[in-house]
Amino acid sequence: MTAYIIRRLWQMIPTMLGVVLLIFFLFNWVGGDPAQVLAGKISNPEQIENIRKQLGVDQPFWRQLIIFCQQIVTGDFGRSWSTNEEVSRIFATRIGPTLTIMFPLLLLETTLGIVFALGVAYVRGSLTDRAIMIACTFAMSISFLVYIILGQWLFGFLLGWFPVQGWSESYWKNLVVYAPLPVFLALLVSVAPTLRLYRSFFLDEINQDYVRTARAKGLSETTVMFKHVMRNAMIPILTNVAIALPSLMIGSFLLEKFFSIPGLGREVITAVERSDFPVIKAITVYLAVFTMFLNLLVDVLYKWVDPRVEFK
C-alpha cells in the first residue's frame, strides 16, 4: 500500500513537469510579451515595466521557466494584471462561494441519480423506463445555456421565487437565498446524463448471477437491490463522482457567470476576458495538481470499497 502510493507520487513528477511546460509554453511563448498583451489595458508604463521585470521577459527562456517554477512552489504568482489583487488572495476568497454552490449540487446530484437510476433499472424495459430514457435524451439535447436563461427568467424574474442573482457576506444567507436557484437549474441539467449513466451501471449488476442467487435464496427485493446490487455498482459511481470533482473546483463557470457568484469559475472567465494571465496560470496549475492527487485518492478508495482490487 505505502509502496504503491510512493510509486504513484513518483510517477506524478513528469506529468506535473509537463503541465508546467504546457502552461509556460502557452502563456510565455504563444501569449507573448505582456507589454503587448497589456497595451491599452494598463495605461501606466511603470506598472508594465514592473510586470516585465517580474516575469523576466528580457531574459532567456530557461530563466523565465525558473521564475515560473519558483512562483508555483512558493504560491506567489504576484498580482492580477487587471485588478492588482494578489493571486493567492483571489484563490482564498473565491473558493468559498464556488464550494457553497457545488457541494450541495454534487451531493444532491449523486443521491438523486442513484435513487432514480436504481428505480428505473428495477423496472427496466417497461414503458416507464423507456419514457424516462427518451425524456433524458431529449433533455440532454438542449444546451445548458438555455436551461439557465429560461430558469433565471421564469423563477427569478417572472415568478420572483428566488433572487435573479446576487451574493452576500453571510454564509447561511448565501446557502438559503442565493444558492437554491443555481443549484436547482444545474440539477435539472445534470440529472439526465447522470441517470442514464448510473442506470447502465445498475443494469450491468442486475443481470449478474449473484443477483439471481440472492433472489433464489429468498432475500427480499429491497435487500437484493440496496445491499447486493447497490454496493457493487458503487465502484463505477465513485469513479464518476471523482472525475466530476476537479470541475467542481472551478464550479460550473456558466452558473457563476449568470448568477454573479464571486467564485473561481467566474474569476477564470473574467481573467480570460481581460487577458489576466497570472490568474489563469495559477488556477490551471493548481487545479491540475489537485486533479492528480484526487486520482490517487480515488484509486486508494477503490481498495476500501472493493477489497478484491489489487494494487499493481
- What minimum distance in Å lies between the beta carbon of 218 and another protein? 31
Q: Which of 61, 157, 171, 210 binds another protein (CB under 8 A)?
A: 157
Closer to another protein at the Cβ: 123 or 149?
A: 149
Q: How many residues bind another protein (CB under 8 A)?
A: 46
Closer to another protein at the Cβ: 43 or 141?
A: 141
Residue with cell 443494469: 203
- What minimum distance in Å lies between the beta carbon of 118 and another protein? 19
Q: Report the distance separating Cα 201 and Cα 128, nearest Å.
A: 18
When asked if residue 143 is in the footprint of another protein (CB under 8 A), the reply is: yes
Residues 268/285, Cβ–Cβ less than 8 Å: no
Q: Which stretch binds another protein (CB under 8 A): 95-103, 150-158, 180-188, 234-242?
A: 150-158
Q: Which of 4, 5, 8, 26 binds another protein (CB under 8 A)?
A: 26
| Grid cell digits, residue 61 | 527562456
When asked if residue 200 is in the footprint of another protein (CB under 8 A), the reply is: yes
When asked if residue 70 is in the footprint of another protein (CB under 8 A), the reply is: no
Q: Report the distance separating Cα 267 and Cα 283, nearest Å.
A: 9
Residue with cell 504513484: 8
Closer to another protein at the Cβ: 27 or 224?
A: 27
Q: Report the distance separating Cα 36 and Cα 254, nearest Å.
A: 29
When asked if residue 150 is in the footprint of another protein (CB under 8 A), the reply is: yes
Query: Coil, strand or helix: which one is 39?
Result: strand
Nearest one of 56, 79, 59, 85 to 68, comparing CA atoms: 56
Buried b (16+ CB within 10 A) or exposed e, 25-47: eebbeebeebeebbeeebeeeee
- What minimum distance in Å lies between the beta carbon of 175 and another protein? 24
Q: Report the distance separating Cα 44 and Cα 225, nearest Å.
A: 67
Contacts of 105 by beta carbon, 8 Å cutoff, 6+ apart: 183, 186, 187, 190, 252
**Which positions lie near another protein, rule CB under 8 A?**
14-15, 18-19, 21-23, 26-27, 30-31, 137-138, 140-146, 149-150, 153, 157, 200, 246-247, 249-250, 253-254, 257, 268-269, 271-273, 275, 277, 280, 283-284, 287-288, 291-292
